[in-house]
Homo-oligomer: A and B are copies of this chain.
Amino acid sequence: MVDDRQRKVVYVQTYGTEARDRMATPIYLAAAAAAMDMDVSIYFTVHGPTLLKKGVPETVRVARVGGDGAPIGHFLDQARELGVRFLVCQPSLDLNGMTLDDLVDGVECIGGAAFNDLCSEADAVISF
């Protein structure tokens, strides 16, 4: 990079607890980006918000060939400690029959306009 400004990356997480094999990768990669001092957000949409439901992070484990891996909370905690922002939108909460009160602390609810602003200003939007 020729300039010194902080790079911005947005991860989009569309899978939740219904796809235990698909749920960890974007969170792991978002943490890796934050560890490089990038400005990183994960937008949990479609079924992504189910990962943020109280009780889920500690109990739902990654599915992998050969047996279960770590609980998804391991990856979520690591990302959060590195400064990754967790974002959701209201329509996805509705889709899953959830409200903001169902979610773990520290999740921000943004609208479609804010999401589009975020993406258009980012260096990369990476969807899963």
Q: Is the CB of A21 within 8 A of B46?
A: yes
A38 to B111, CA, bound (A): 16
Neighbouring B residues of A96 by C-beta, 8 Å: 64-65
Residue in B32, B64, B97, B120 whose CB lies within 8 Å of A123 = B120
State the copy count for this chain. Answer: 3
Q: Is the CB of B1 within 8 A of A97?
A: no
Q: Is the CB of B14 within 8 A of A113?
A: no
Q: Is the CB of A36 within 8 A of B124?
A: no
Q: Is the CB of A32 within 8 A of B65?
A: no
Contact with B along A76-99 (1 / 0, CB 8 A): 000000000000000110111100
A92 to B65, CA, bound (A): 11
A128 to B13, CA, bound (A): 9
A113 to B36, CA, bound (A): 7
Neighbouring B residues of A106 by C-beta, 8 Å: none
Q: Is the CB of B124 within 8 A of A119?
A: yes
A95 to B65, CA, bound (A): 6
